[in-house]
Structure 1
């Protein structure tokens, strides 16, 4: 594991957002429809795709028009919860994936135009979401689902405070704090949901508010008891083979511990252990990307698409990848995946994400709690946009990932169980 990189750039005085930071051809050659050779071209593609995904949500919500105009679709087996929760899902899930990029100062002129527009729209959308007089005031008090997506919004504030939290008006800040605190009425399930409560309290801790420490400490200690080994946690008492280690458990535990160690509440050893486990888990994610740029689809919430790569790309953002995985290797692999996933049929005619994985004919894969807003968790795979274009993630040429090497008959790293 990249022990040196674990400590490099992870100063507890700062948070992630502040770091300045298809088809196969013969013999398994990848053509430029699947992965480009030039990193700057890859970055332009990622920025364009981020803009395409985010703009329908943020352009509408910043004007108070999201509820009116969003093409809100629900799973065929929808559980009849209040549909209004989907708007908070869209906002919170987009914010956490976009935050590090919106905080980046070193961007070229063309990218700056897009970044500045989306940053202002996201700030305005957050303000609309907590203003009771706004048509887009969010459903903070409907059922238990708001706990989930308020946590993603809180995580976004932790990742990029200088652009997402600090510029907000005092009134908006106070209303957000109020909405976050009233969510204490919700007792989280004995699952990854414990981390949602802990994430909100950790953000409140970070900004100097009084917190319910038990909601933080119980979550950390319970998740640790569910560790099964070799980088995998169970999502509750019974292990389920799905991607919730990616969507929530690994990265949210790390972000919670980062704040709490900084604030003197938890130990550095706890953080280091959780981080090493995330590094190990990320090794599996990198190996799951096939030569064609596909990945295995299993378990619930599969329609969250590229969100499964959150731990891998967060490590890239933080310069903490395992030694044998290079930044350009990750960029090349994830770019190949994005080009397989985000085909025209993955969007409605008005640009909203569909409920499938590849195209809109797969809406039957959506779980009972899934709606259009849920799909925006896919923004998590865009975290490396928070790295400047001079960083090796973007500046280094195309590099083959593990399974591309393996199925071309080239040497590749053997894999063995790790115990920590």
Structure 2
């Protein structure tokens, strides 16, 4: 296929089916952890639960759209997206399951499970008509108890991690379950302290414009957009202000991509290079992508290829 061939919906759906198949074929027996080849991360048993919780961004998004098939096909095999997500969440939040994701050893500390909890809650809200509404009350209580354990208030807001707490609580709020509004409010206020203008945030203990990296696109922009989707209507003025910042940032985003779709590796988390398209696509859906739809389509197609 020539590089300039338009990126098509069928091409995007084939890529999604391929991702689902590759992921599902590496799940453990509980369905809540992945067993992917490679060098393990000794801090969390090979990152095996992250391989599932990170996939929930895609699974929840896919299931959020009425009319999308819950089962996708890849090379003659069928993969039930809803069943895979449901099984993963139930096993991962069940303390009696061998695939239990665990909880922070010390409540309110910077634990990786807190990072993951935001997208677990958000995926449940996105797929509520398919997954959340199908759970029994004991199953819901099990899940909320896990989210609560991962969402205890920390001593201070140090960096982009603050948004993981906010999304955890905002998602629970949207599901009509227990949450702490004060945590959501405090994180939204904290954003002003690290905002540098033109849509960009700095991050970490050092301050200033020398401290930008891809956490701006994936965490700051992505999680602000997630909050705006799940809870923004409760404070429309603040939602509008934060979305204006997203729009300002998106003015610059195309300049980070080369004509062939290449992107420079920068910052602390190079793994997030695979998520950099999320914020522009989400910004378009939120109505704050300032460029043409054609530019976005070309950017996405060339980068993925």
Q: TM-score, normalised by structure 2?
A: 0.84
Say if 1:292 and 1:336, in contact at 8 Å, map to a contact too.
Answer: yes
Is contact 2:71–2:79 with CA below 8 Å preserved after alignment?
Answer: no
- Deviation string, structure 1 residues 163-220 (Cα, Å, up to 9, x no partner): 3422333322111100111224461651111111111111121122332222111111
**Which ranges of structure 2 fall in alignment gaps of 5 or more residues?**
none
| 1:135 paired residue among 78, 98, 118 | 98
More RCO (CA 8 Å, sep 6+): 1
Matched-pair contact (CA < 8 Å) for 1:147–1:197? yes
What is the number of residues matched between the two proteins? 295
Cα contact 1:250–1:274 (8 A) shared by 2? no
Q: After the TM superposition, which residues 228-247 of structure 1 pair with which residues of structure 2 at under 5 Å, given as runs? A: 228-236=196-204, 238-239=207-208, 240-247=211-218
Asked if 1 retains the 8 angstrom alpha-carbon contact of 2:217 and 2:279, the reply is: yes
Task: Report the equivalent of 1:42.
Answer: 11
Say whether 1:124 aligns with 2:87. Answer: yes
Secondary structure (helix, strand or coil) at the match of 1:216 reads: helix
Equivalent residue of 1:250, what SS? helix
Give the number of the structure whose alpha-carbon radius of gyration is greater: 1
Aligned to 2:133: 166
C-alpha contact 1:91 1:153 (8 A) present in aligned 2: no
Residue 12 of structure 1: aligned partner: none
Q: Which residue of 2 is the match for residue 387 of structure 1?
A: none
For 1:4-19, list aligned pairs within 5 A: none
| 1:100 aligned residue | 61
Spell out, residue by residue over 1:298-322, the C-alpha distance to the aligned partner (whole angstroms, 9 max, x if none).
1111122221222101123345422
Gaps spanning 5+ residues in structure 1: where? 1-31, 340-420
Q: Contact conserved, 1:261 with 1:268, CA < 8 A, in 2? A: yes
- Kept in 1: contact 2:33–2:51 (CA 8 A): no
Task: Say whether the 8 Å CA contact 2:93–2:143 is kept in structure 1.
Answer: yes
2:280 corresponding residue in structure 1: 312
3-state SS in 1 of match to 2:196:
strand
Q: 1:181 to 1:66 in 2, by over 3 A?
A: closer
Question: Using the alignment, how far apart are the partners of 1:110 and 1:182 within structure 2?
Answer: 32
Paired with 1:69 and 1:92, the residues of 2 have a C-alpha distance of: 13
CA spacing shift, 1:122–1:34, aligned 2, 3 Å: farther
CA distance in 2, matches of 1:139, 1:91: 14
When the two structures are superposed, what TM-score results if normalisation uses the length of structure 1? 0.63
Say whether 1:252 aligns with 2:252: no
Aligned equivalents of 2:236, 2:272: Cα separation in 1: 32
Q: Which residue of 1 aligns with 2:45?
A: 83
The equivalent residue for 2:301 is 335
SS in 2 for 1:136: coil
Flag the 1:157–1:284 CA change in 2: closer, same or farther, 3 A.
Answer: farther
